Amino acid sequence: MFRFIGRRILETIPVMLIIITGTFFMQRFIPGGPFTAEKAVTPEVLRNLEAYYHLNDPLWKQYTDYVWDLCPKRFHPLALANGLDLKAAFGIDFRPSFKYPNRTVNEMIAAKLPVSLELGGWSLLVALGLGLPLGILAAVKRNTWVDYLCSSLAMTGICVPTFVLGPLLVLAFAIHTGWFEASGWYGPIDRVLPCLTLGNFYAAYIARLTRGGMIEVLSQDYIRTARAKGASEARIILHHALRGGLLPVVSFLGPAVAGILTGSFVIETIFQIPGLGRQFVTSAFDRDYTMVLGTVILYAGLIITLNLVVDIVQVWLNPRLKFE
């Protein structure tokens, strides 16, 4: 088990390096520097700006400096509580923003990321809370109207993507009935529509996967044995079948979390939520490269870490995987 975990952690290092290298050279080789769009600046100011952003160094030095700045150098996770400061906690420095020279990307991330994480967390809860019961119900009542209802609900969820569902929900429940606000992120009530919208799509997938996994497990011999021994239906489902039946769901959680994080770009745009996703889209249009790179690398790191956790949970649930 520890060898497996160790190997998986080592594997993430080249992946992170590929991402950092790719993004770094992508932004270095695009036509037009970050300051060409600004109104004309005097050569002295330009020189100062370039010095401030280390653009005068040779390329290899810029690259190695950048990688070094992004490298975790210390480990004080407790410092995160104090305003989510990645530099104080891990020594990760995303450098100053290109667009707002007096703010660092670290500060902007610290201000925006909690909102996105909250949105994502609630959405994941919605996805699991809706998807698992629906899928289990469909599998247990297989080929009855309950199954057909659950399965068609799931299909609807997959075919009505977030950017369709979100505006439609706003139209119906905010503009017409006025139960919710169309946008904003203040009270708990403002969480309802965005989290439902974002969670719904993944709930649909999870329901389908749960149904498939449960149907497969419920047809196994050991379930028949449990039935023969007189175990109650609830015990069979919750105690015997669920562990195996949830395996496909657990392996889907990695992609789901990645999807929820990127999906928040759209949700935050629709509902005007002040999170990192909307900031990313704005920065992309502003060509604020350090901010864009910082967000990409941060999200990539988050997704890769969560994938790692998912893999470990998977092996824990299904020890056969260890040997593959």
Partner 1 sequence: MVSLSPKDLPSPLPAIEPAESGHSLWTDAWRRLRKNRLAVAGGIVVLTLFLLYFIGPLFSQHYEEQNLDLGASSPSTAHWLGTDTLGRDLFARLLYGGQISLTVGLIATVVALAIGVTYGATAGFSGGKTDMVMMRIVDIMYALPFTIFVILLMVFFGRNIFLLFFAIGAVEWLTMARIVRGQVLSVKRMEFIEAARTLGFGRRRIIFRHIIPNVLGPVIVYTTLTIPSVMLLEAFLSFLGLGVQPPMSSLGVLIKNGADSMEEYWWLLVFPAAIFSLTLFSLNFLGDGLRDALDVRASKD
User: For residues 48 and 282, which CB has a smaller minimum distance to partner 1 in the complex?
Assistant: 282
Q: How many residues does the chain have?
A: 324
- Residue in 209, 266, 276, 291 binding partner 1, rule: CB under 8 A: 266
Burial class (CB in 10 A: 0-12, 13-18, 19+), 61: exposed
Does 110 engage in binding with partner 1 (CB under 8 A)? no
Output the 3-class SS for 282-297: HHHHHCCHHHHHHHHH
Contact pattern from residue 61 through residue 90 relative to partner 1, giving x for each residue in contact according to CB under 8 A and a dash for the rest: ------------------------------
Smallest distance, Å, CB 81 to partner 1? 27
Q: Give the closest residue to 16 by CA, choosing from 312, 298, 324, 316.
A: 298
Query: What residues between 270 and 289 interact with partner 1 by CB under 8 A?
Result: 270, 280-281, 284-285, 287
From residue 60, how far is each of 30, 66, 279 by CA, in Å?
Answer: 17, 10, 30
Q: Is 13 exposed, middle or buried (0-12, 13-18, 19+ CB in 10 A)?
A: exposed
Four-residue CA torsion sign, 185, 187, 193, 199: positive
Residues 279/265, Cβ–Cβ less than 8 Å: no
Q: Does 175 engage in binding with partner 1 (CB under 8 A)?
A: yes
DSSP notation for 103-117 = SBHHHHHHHHHHHHH
Window 3-42: contact mask with partner 1 (x via CB under 8 A): --------xx-xx--xx--xx--xx--x------------
Binding of residue 238 to partner 1 (CB under 8 A): no
Nearer to partner 1, 82 or 272 (CB): 272
Report the interface residues with partner 1, using CB under 8 A: 11-12, 14-15, 18-19, 22-23, 26-27, 30, 155, 158-161, 163-164, 166-168, 170-171, 175, 216, 219-221, 258-259, 261-262, 265-266, 269-270, 280-281, 284-285, 287, 292, 296, 299-300, 303-304, 307
